[in-house]
């Protein structure tokens, strides 16, 4: 009997690791019967998935115990298919009321029913009250002449109420004049999903919306996990710079410690939801409800949730409620309606008061705001809001910010508030992005493992002629800020990774003498260590434990060994392709290559791509190929 049980166990383990079925197929849109690129194909009850390519095709493997896939697209209804063997499918999706291009004749009751069942993962069946009007184009962004895959208008008139912070590119620096480069980390992802929204609507994103560091950090790079009790691990790599043949590229990667959800402390969450009139659009409040349903479904009995809303005034519609009472929380979400002006300041004040009333000393206390960022009544100045939010963060209540919608997004304000609240900022343009924030990256969204994380690189002037940090324009710090524990910096969430790239111009051979006097009081010299070292510099990191106010310091040398681009890691090549994409979109004077070359580099560095995010990026790049 014992031998028989052992054989059964071995057989089960074998089957569990083997492929159950391979599904290949294509995704089509019902109206035009044309291929749909960018549709998400997700294996139900797993974190596995892929994205349809430009011709609508996809391929995905199902493993033991998996029986169905769900196909999602922001403009169409989801569809679920049950799989029992290798199969080829053709999936035709019907227009979804929540989409951006097609919309139903608006019946509020039927619409709320539809949103609820889609969010719950139940296939939707049309009711008699929902009268579909197909090919009814309500997308205000499809205007102008389509040239080279994108509307070349810099600022379409429909975007004139969106607000972005203009930043100038980082310029090259010489180690003689500026031996230290210092900046705060940035784990926000909002810029990438916002840029994706513009491109999917065939418009060129405003330059202020493009933050290259956020585009790079949208993706996971499978860096080695930390050990020795540290909250993160760090790697460096040097290879050829693909957009400038005369330069090298330094890749810095930081990987945060992963914490299983069941091991995380209890949550005290306050949902602060904008229900003002500007949120009365299909891709705003209805999508907010869908996104937060995903979070609520993962709550545990030890977690608690409150809901504060604001429009003309702020109000508490759900007092602190256990995560065990999911129906109560979801019913409160379902009752929300949009209308009125935007008392954002009053809403933030009430949200923090509510968080204090249910504060968990040994828990995760966090306000999560969902808005398009329009604060037009009451305490609306950035400086007043910043001061209040920064004070609350110092008392252990963090802030996460979720931006929604188009045409009215106040990106500059939302980014500022999240930075001061020691939190993160994401832009949610569709349901798959909500899944990324609240399912695939939930612990990183909710739990901070290190705060005020700063990076400083000291470059060796004997080997490095000049350097240029790619992105991080609004995260720059002065040299003395690195050692100042009162200087605010970025937070690292559980499982999050941070990537930074430097363009380097190297000396053809080590410099062995000083270039001259810096002043009558100082003389620049190259030390013996610099001459003999094989290090292009030193990497320093400062961080604080989440509940500590004194920072810790880590350091490591950056070796000068340089690999050819084709021999560099998948992470190096893919991060470089994303950075180059951002440089071209910003019309950077430092990038000398094409969208076609970006696509070629990205296609060679896709890796496992289990959730299809890299394939989706490649599809975006190919839209813009000359």
What is the CB-side half-sphere exposure of residue 110 using CA atoms within 13 A? Answer: 15
Q: Give the DSSP letter of residue 153.
A: -
Above 90 in pLDDT, residue 208?
yes
Q: Give the DSSP letter of residue 437.
A: I
Task: Find, among 484, 489, 494, the residue nearest to 472 by Cα.
Answer: 489
Contact 489, 248 (CB under 8 A): no
CA angle 36, 42, 44 (to 5 degrees): 145
What is the overall mean pLDDT for the chain? 82
Token pair 């941070």: residue: 498
Record the tokens describing residue 254, joined without a space.
Answer: 């930081």
**What is the predicted pLDDT for the residue at 381?**
62
- One DSSP character per residue, 54-66 reads TTSEEEEEEETT-
Above 50 in pLDDT, residue 297?
yes
Long-range contacts of 480-484 (CB under 8 A, 24+ apart): 481/182, 481/454, 482/180, 482/182, 482/454, 482/456, 482/540, 482/542, 483/542
Above 70 in pLDDT, residue 385?
yes
Digit-coded pLDDT (tens) for 45-79: 776 778 888 788 888 877 655 578 888 876 677 78
Secondary structure of 533-566 as H, E, C letters: CCEEEEEEEEEECCCCCCCEEEEEEEECCCECHH
| Rg (the chain; Cα; Å) | 25
d(CA 202, CA 155): 12
pTM here is 0.78
**What is the predicted pLDDT for the residue at 75?**
62
Digit-coded pLDDT (tens) for 77-91: 778 888 877 788 888
Which residues are 502's β-sheet partners? 250, 469
**What is the predicted pLDDT for the residue at 288?**
94
Q: Which of 10-19, 102-111, 348-357 has the lowest mean pLDDT?
A: 102-111
Number of CB atoms found within 10 A of residue 493's CB: 23
Token pair 């969450």: residue: 269
Record the tokens describing residue 135, joined without a space.
Answer: 């090919």
What are the E-state strand segments in 267-424? Answer: 267-274, 304-310, 314-322, 364-371, 397-404
d(CA 277, CA 285): 10
Contact 616, 42 (CB under 8 A): no
Rounded to the nearest angstrom, the gap between the alpha carbon of residue 272 and the centroid of all alpha carbons in its chain is 20
What are the E-state strand segments in 372-435? Answer: 397-404, 425-428
Which residues are 41's β-sheet partners? 50, 71
Contact 70, 92 (CB under 8 A): no
Task: Find, among 624, 571, 570, the residue nearest to 597 by Cα.
Answer: 624
Record the tokens describing residue 210, joined without a space.
Answer: 């493009």
Task: Read off the pLDDT of each residue in 529-540 and give the average, rounded to a whole number.
Answer: 86
Task: Find, among 287, 460, 491, 469, the residue nearest to 370 by Cα.
Answer: 287
Token pair 């070292």: residue: 533
**What is the predicted pLDDT for the residue at 169?**
92
Q: Which of 383-397, 421-435, 560-574 has the lowest mean pLDDT?
A: 383-397
**What is the predicted pLDDT for the residue at 147?**
32
User: 11: Cβ–Cβ under 8 A, 6 or more apart, which residues?
Assistant: none
Digit-coded pLDDT (tens) for 114-145: 434 433 443 333 333 223 322 222 222 222 32
* Highest-pLDDT range among 52-66, 148-162, 243-257, 301-315: 243-257
pLDDT band at residue 282, thresholds of 50, 70 and 90?
confident
Rounded to the nearest angstrom, the gap between the alpha carbon of residue 333 and the centroid of all alpha carbons in its chain is 24
Instruction: Say how many Å lie between the first and final Cα of the chain, rounded.
Output: 68
Digit-coded pLDDT (tens) for 438-447: 998 888 889 9
Residue 21 vs residue 379, higher pLDDT: 21
d(CA 625, CA 622): 5
What are the Cα distances from residue 450, in Å, to 111, 119, 552, 622? 42, 33, 10, 37
Number of CB atoms found within 10 A of residue 109's CB: 10
What are the Cα distances from residue 471, in Å, to 171, 265, 451, 452, 501? 10, 34, 21, 19, 8
Record the tokens describing residue 4, joined without a space.
Answer: 């028989």
d(CA 115, CA 98): 8
Long-range contacts of 111-114 (CB under 8 A, 24+ apart): 111/286, 112/334
Task: Read off the pLDDT of each residue in 449-455 and give the average, rounded to a whole number.
Answer: 94
Rounded to the nearest angstrom, the gap between the alpha carbon of residue 407 and the centroid of all alpha carbons in its chain is 20
**What is the predicted pLDDT for the residue at 66?**
58
CA angle 297, 302, 303 (to 5 degrees): 50
Q: Which of 154-168, 196-210, 213-227 has the lowest mean pLDDT?
A: 154-168
What angle in degrees, to the nearest 10, is found between the helix axes of 190-200 and 411-420? 160
What angle in degrees, to the nearest 10, is found between the helix axes of 108-119 and 285-296? 30
Q: Give the DSSP letter of residue 227.
A: -
Record the tokens describing residue 129, joined without a space.
Answer: 């009250």
d(CA 20, CA 374): 49
Task: Read off the pLDDT of each residue in 507-525 and give the average, rounded to a whole number.
Answer: 70
Task: Find, among 119, 99, 111, the residue nearest to 330 by Cα.
Answer: 119
Task: Read off the pLDDT of each residue in 196-218 and give the average, rounded to a whole number.
Answer: 94
d(CA 383, CA 29): 47
**What is the predicted pLDDT for the residue at 16?**
42
Structural domains of the chain sorted by starting position, each given as residue range(s) with its CATH number in brackets: 2-94 (2.60.40.1120), 180-186+205-258+452-578 (no CATH), 261-446 (3.40.50.410)
Secondary structure (3-state) at 454 = strand
């Amino acid at each position: 009997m014992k031998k028989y049980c052992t054989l059964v166990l071995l057989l089960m383990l074998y089957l569990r690791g083997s492929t159950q079925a391979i599904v290949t197929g294509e995704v089509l849109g019902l109206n035009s019967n044309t291929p749909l690129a960018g549709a998400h194909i997700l294996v139900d009850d797993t974190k596995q998935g892929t994205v349809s390519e430009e011709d609508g095709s996809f391929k995905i493997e199902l493993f033991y115990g998996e029986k169905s896939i769900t196909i999602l697209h922001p403009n169409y209804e989801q569809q679920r298919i049950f799989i029992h063997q290798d199969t080829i499918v053709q999936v035709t999706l019907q227009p979804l009321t929540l989409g951006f291009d097609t919309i139903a004749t608006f019946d509020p009751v039927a619409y709320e029913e539809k949103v609820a069942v889609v969010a719950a993962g139940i296939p939707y069946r049309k009711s008699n009250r929902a009268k579909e009007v197909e090919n009814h184009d309500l997308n205000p962004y499809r205007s102008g002449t389509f040239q080279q895959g994108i509307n070349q208008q810099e600022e379409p008139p429909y975007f004139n109420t969106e607000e972005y912070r203009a930043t100038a590119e980082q310029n090259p620096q010489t180690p003689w004049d500026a031996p230290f480069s210092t900046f705060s980390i940035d784990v926000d992802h909002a810029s990438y999903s916002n840029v994706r929204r513009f491109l999917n609507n065939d418009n060129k994103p405003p330059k202020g919306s493009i933050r290259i560091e956020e585009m790079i950090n949208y993706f996971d790079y499978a860096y080695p996990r930390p050990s020795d009790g540290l909250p993160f691990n760090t790697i460096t790599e040097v290879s050829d710079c693909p957009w400038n043949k005369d330069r090298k590229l330094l890749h810095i990667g930081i990987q945060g410690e992963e914490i299983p959800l069941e091991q995380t402390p209890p949550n005290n969450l306050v949902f602060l939801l904008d229900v003002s009139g500007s949120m009365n659009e299909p891709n705003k409040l209805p999508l907010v409800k869908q996104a937060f349903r995903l979070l609520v479904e993962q709550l545990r009995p030890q977690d608690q949730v409150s809901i504060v809303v604001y429009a003309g005034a702020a109000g508490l519609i759900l007092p602190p409620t256990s995560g065990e009472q999911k129906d109560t929380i979801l019913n409160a979400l379902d009752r929300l309606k949009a209308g009125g002006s935007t008392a954002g300041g009053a809403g933030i004040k009430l949200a923090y008061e509510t968080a204090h009333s249910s504060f968990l000393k040994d828990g995760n206390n966090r306000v999560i705001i969902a808005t398009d960022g329009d604060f037009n009544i009451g305490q609306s100045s950035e400086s007043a809001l910043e001061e209040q939010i920064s004070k609350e963060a110092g008392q252990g209540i963090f802030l996460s910010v979720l931006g929604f919608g188009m045409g009215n997004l106040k990106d500059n304000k939302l980014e500022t508030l999240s930075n001061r609240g020691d939190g993160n900022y994401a832009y949610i343009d569709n349901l798959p992005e909500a899944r990324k924030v609240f399912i695939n990256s939930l612990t990183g969204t909710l739990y901070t493992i290190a705060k005020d994380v700063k990076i400083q690189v000291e470059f060796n002037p004997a080997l490095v002629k000049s350097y240029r940090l790619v992105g991080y324009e609004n995260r720059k710090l002065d040299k003395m800020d690195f050692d100042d524990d009162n200087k605010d910096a970025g937070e690292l969430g559980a499982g999050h990774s941070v990537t930074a790239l430097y363009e380097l111009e190297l000396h053809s051979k080590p410099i062995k003498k000083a270039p001259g006097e810096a002043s009558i009081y100082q003389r620049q010299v190259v030390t013996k260590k610099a001459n003999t070292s094989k290090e292009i510099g030193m990497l320093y990191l400062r961080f604080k434990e989440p509940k500590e106010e004194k920072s810790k310091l880590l350091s490591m040398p950056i070796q000068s060994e340089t690999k050819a681009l084709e021999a560099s890691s998948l992470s190096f090549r893919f991060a470089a392709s994303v950075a180059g994409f951002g440089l071209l979109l910003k019309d950077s004077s430092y990038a000398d290559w094409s969208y076609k070359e970006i696509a070629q580099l990205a296609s060679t560095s896709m890796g496992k791509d289990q959730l299809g995010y890299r394939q989706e990026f490649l599809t975006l790049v190919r839209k813009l190929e000359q």
